[in-house]
Homo-oligomer: A and B are copies of this chain.
Amino acid sequence: MSRMSDGRSRRAGRALATQLQKSRITYNLPVYDLLSEDALQRLHEASLRILSEFGIAFYDDEARSILKAHGARVDGDVVYFDPAMVREYVSKAPPEFTQLSRNPENNLPIGGNAVNFAPVYGPPYVIDADSGRREARLEDFVNFVKLAYLSPYMHHSGGTIVEPTDEPVDTRHLDMVYSHIKYSDKPFMGSVTSAENAADTVRMAEILFGSDALRENPAVISLINVSSPRRFDDRMLGAMKVYARARQAMIITPFILAGAMAPTSIAGTVAQQNAEALAGIAFAQMVEPGTPVVYGSFLTNIDLQSGAPVFGSPESQMGLYASAQLARYYGLPFRGGGMFTSSKIPDAQAAYESVMVMIPTIMARTNFVLHAAGWLENGLASGYEKFVLDCEILGMLHTWSKGLEISEESLALDSIREVPPGGHHLGTEHTLRNFRTAFYRAELFDYNSSEVWTDAGSNDAYARANKRVKQLLASYEPPPLDPAKDEELTDFMMRRKAELTNQGSR
């Protein structure tokens, strides 16, 4: 961002920051079940056949030994899972758990009716209206941590919100974990780039929370991607073993584009995803029974003309609902969805596609929503303006999730009687009692007349969001961190950076 602050935006931003609420979503609305019981059963059985007959490759010797020791059949790299064994180990995973946060008010229930939003994860680029598209730096990473911290609708600080490409590959995981801890007091995600980096993450969490607390409840949740089709690579398995042994939470997510890594049909794609997720979940429970895991889904289709991924497609919506329903069937927390788009900027396409995923995400009662704000360009870029625009929709979904209250007060029959035919409710007692809290208000959406909007410069949502980002960053004030812990974390990070730099780049 070119200009972060001025006096006016600083004040406005500070006012926004004071609105920070500890807003939890407990989804007590009906969940949308797309599939009939019979259809669900057929998907489940297809997955069991994939697991027992076709197998899943585990590219790690120790992992295969563990699997074999727990009853799996191993042939070369490929592991075959008997249905009874799948059932046995998957059932050891807890149906819900709590992720610790350094601010206990931000401790996060994961599972059941809890719905949690986390920022975009993974992009090497950032986009903002002032500078356009450029490689992400650590400064951008910190900015996004701040934006997530400042949003009352974001429950989690996330993980690799952007890749800090100006930091060395071998050590940037330390900068990322430290920045989450330093600039936010919301829960965060750990590094999965190697077993060593996972161990560094656990060590930093131990410094912050103490080793004992960490074994009671996870303080780190990490994203384990399956390299679909049917393949766990050595880096992910290395990280999995470290996190499971430390009883830290993992989101086991097959990353699947139907038509490329899975069949050109959603049913087959979901069956394959389900087999892959169950294999990872069972493995985690073999390493450490009771390890908190989330059933993950990252599922959409490719554009069959170009091979590019497509987001917000009707097919991806069906995949999302079916996946969530399977996770519920196994009694596991579910991760899926997000504000996805293929668009390069936060234009109409970006918004159409994002909501086309996000509403199914909430109505499937997704427990952990990664990429809930900021995603652009197939996940290659984090957008500053997209982030704050997406947060408006997250705010609306908070209100949506509260459901429709039917009570004497909300039915307001006295008020309806009091207003004559053709009258209005603007000044009724009922309106005066309720108007402050009645309706969600999106700060970034323009409700003015065309004339007022034109006089104000005909700014579109992108331009308005650009101003908002600057206000927010100017208003940011860090949550206090115990200086002794900060020093210990910094010392650890410096020591590890020295060690890793001496080892040289891998």
A residues whose Cβ falls under 8 Å from a Cβ of B = 29-30, 32-35, 39, 42-43, 46, 49-50, 53-57, 77-78, 125, 133, 227, 229-231, 258-268, 271-272, 301-310, 312-315, 317-318, 321-322, 342-356, 359-360, 363, 377, 380-381, 389, 392-393, 396-397, 399-400, 403-407, 409-413, 415-417, 419-426, 428, 430-431, 434-436, 438-442, 444-450, 453-454, 458, 460-462, 465
Contacts and interface: CB of A to CB of B under 8 A. Distances in A.
A318, A342, A352, A424: residue with the most chain B Cβ atoms closer than 10 Å: A352
B35 A404 contact: yes
A56 B422 CA distance: 10
Q: For the complex formed by this chain, how many copies does it contain in all?
A: 2
Contacts of A350: 348, 351
Given A348-B462, A377-B450, A263 B355 contact: no
B404 A446 contact: no
Given A304-B439, A355-B356, A450-B377, A314 B264 contact: no
Given A352-B393, A407-B267, A445-B342, A363 B32 contact: yes
A355 B344 contact: no
A415 B54 CA distance: 11
Contacts of A34: 29-30, 403-404
A350 B405 CA distance: 28
A42 B407 CA distance: 9
A260 B441 contact: no
Contact of A347 (B30, B77, B347): B347
A462 to B, nearest CB: 6
Contact of A263 (B39, B322, B416): B416
A419 B229 contact: yes
A423 B229 CA distance: 7
**The 4 residue pairs across chains A and B that have the minimum distance between CB atoms:** A268-B412, A351-B351, A57-B421, A263-B412
12 contacts: A42-B411, A43-B406, A259-B431, A262-B416, A264-B439, A265-B412, A265-B430, A267-B404, A345-B458, A347-B351, A356-B396, A380-B450
